[in-house]
Amino acid sequence: MIDSDISLSTTIPAPAGKMVHIETWGCQMNAADSERMLALLAAQSYQLAADAESADLVLLNTCHIREKAKHKVLSRLGVLKEIKERRPGMTIAVAGCVAQAEGSRLLKAAPQIDVLLGPGKIDELPRLLREHDASGKRAQAIGFHRHAPDSAPGPEMAPVIAPPTLTGKHEVSRYVNIQQGCNNYCTFCVVPFTRGRELSRPAAEILAESAALVAAGARELTLLGQNVNSYGSDLSTKPSFASLLRSVAALPGLERLRFTTSNPHDFTAELAELFATQPRLGRYLHLPVQSGSDSMLLRMQRKVTVASYLERIDWLRRAVPDIALSTDLIVGFPGETDAEFADTMRLVEQVRFGFAFMFKYSPRKNTPAARYANQVDEKVKEDRLAQLMRLQDRITAEIHAAEVGLVRPVLFHYESSKNPGQYYGRTDHFRLVRVTSDTPLTGQVHQVRISSGNKVGLIGELVN
């Protein structure tokens, strides 16, 4: 599960003409999908609108990982309905996982929707818009592609170019989707039902897009998939994920290469060793565990035990002794006892993650866990989450405090919009650093001496 709780909308003024406003909720994959749709729309002469009020097309790219996701979408659609009543020519499109999961139910609840498409059909957006413009009727495409994954792009595919960014913060660091869907069917996860089975992009296409992004100014790339470790298993050529990483890491001008998400059950020693031999991979990995209890992991169908998870941590720390790790954790999964929750607390204390995405379990439609009888009381979930967050906050603050006085290379991603002269970047260990500078730093790598830190990040000063 990839879930960084991204919520983005385009805010860039554009010249008069056909205008689009995109709002993106959810994970990094949704952000990359939105940039893909922007590239498709740019080929159709669309420009970015400053806001929904001035747009000819408003596109909501939705996320279904959270509880009540449909209600959030309907609430926003209610606002857009009022705008559309004032501007009847405006087109409203809904994409993403809510579109896939809700389908005709969403169309029935929100008649103001003109175009509906799931995440497996984003390349059909231009065709759907043409159909709606020609007929005035709704157009939709949900479901999943079943074409041969090695095949050449179809006629609707946009050329491999660097798509427009959603915000200025993402110019230096860009996302590249390498794979759609998931075959693991963890009992809590809705992804296989909203994004389908695993479908890998050809390595040559990924490499071409990555090269285009670097040529356009990206210094850091993050390769995205629901389980990147299984990349290529559905392709006839069977390229390994490790070979793909080596190819992308060799691109001239690229400073850092990251990837997410890795399911630990098929994370290999070969991948761990790459961190020692490929310096552009940095010294950080996100490796979701979800629970520190073997019985919980079995009920979650994670295909990993605590011992095998720790074995993978050992591989990584032998390759790079000071590697930084982050993870995903769920508390209050159906049937979780106090003892099983205590196991999770012990694992967090033992591994000492740099940070963690922590969630209360919430039932998702179509998932096995939603049908389990022994659901945990909401108050118990809240108490456990609070305990876990306090523990992780302490560990993060201790790790950051140990950075004080050290000099780290920092790739600067953006300048603060509220405080000009304050620049934010990340170390090789993916730790956020703030530096004050009279000269621009965005897109550059500088040595920074860390002067202070807390649970949020680090503050430093430029060296020389």
C-alpha 312/C-alpha 309 separation (Å) is 5
Domain boundaries, the chain: 6-141, 168-401, 407-462
Q: What is the pLDDT of residue 170?
A: 57
pTM (2 d.p.):
0.85
Q: Do domains 168-401 and 407-462 have the same CATH topology?
A: no
Q: What is the pLDDT of residue 17?
A: 61
C-alpha 306/C-alpha 185 separation (Å) is 19
pLDDT at 9 over 50: no
Q: How far apart are the first and last CA of the chain?
A: 41
Instruction: Please report which confidence band the pLDDT of residue 365 belongs to, taking 50, 70 and 90 as the band edges.
Output: confident
75-79, 169-173, 344-348: the lowest-pLDDT one: 169-173
Per the listing, tokens 């599960």 go with 1
- 462/142: higher pLDDT: 462
pLDDT at 67 over 70: no
- 422 forms bridges with which residues in the sheet? 436
Q: What is the pLDDT of residue 3?
A: 41
- CATH assignment of 168-401, among 3.80.30.20, 3.40.30.10, 2.40.33.10, 3.40.50.2030: 3.80.30.20
- CATH assignment of 407-462, among 1.10.3720.10, 3.30.70.1070, 3.40.50.300, 2.40.50.140: 2.40.50.140
C-alpha 96/C-alpha 100 separation (Å) is 7
Looking at residues 160-183, what average pLDDT do you find? 73
CATH superfamily of 6-141: Methylthiotransferase, N-terminal domain (3.40.50.12160)
Which distant-in-sequence residues (6+ apart) come within 8 Å of 79 by Cβ? 52
Q: What is the pLDDT of residue 43?
A: 83
Residue range 390-430, pLDDT digits in tens: 999 999 999 999 999 999 999 999 999 999 999 999 999 99
Instruction: Please report which confidence band the pLDDT of residue 164 belongs to, taking 50, 70 and 90 as the band edges.
Output: low
Q: How high does pLDDT run on average in the chain?
A: 89
Instruction: Please report which confidence band the pLDDT of residue 194 belongs to, taking 50, 70 and 90 as the band edges.
Output: confident
Give me the phi and psi of 236, to 5 degrees please: -65, -30
pLDDT at 285 over 70: yes
Looking at residues 187-207, what average pLDDT do you find? 91
24-33, 179-188, 208-217, 442-451: the lowest-pLDDT one: 24-33
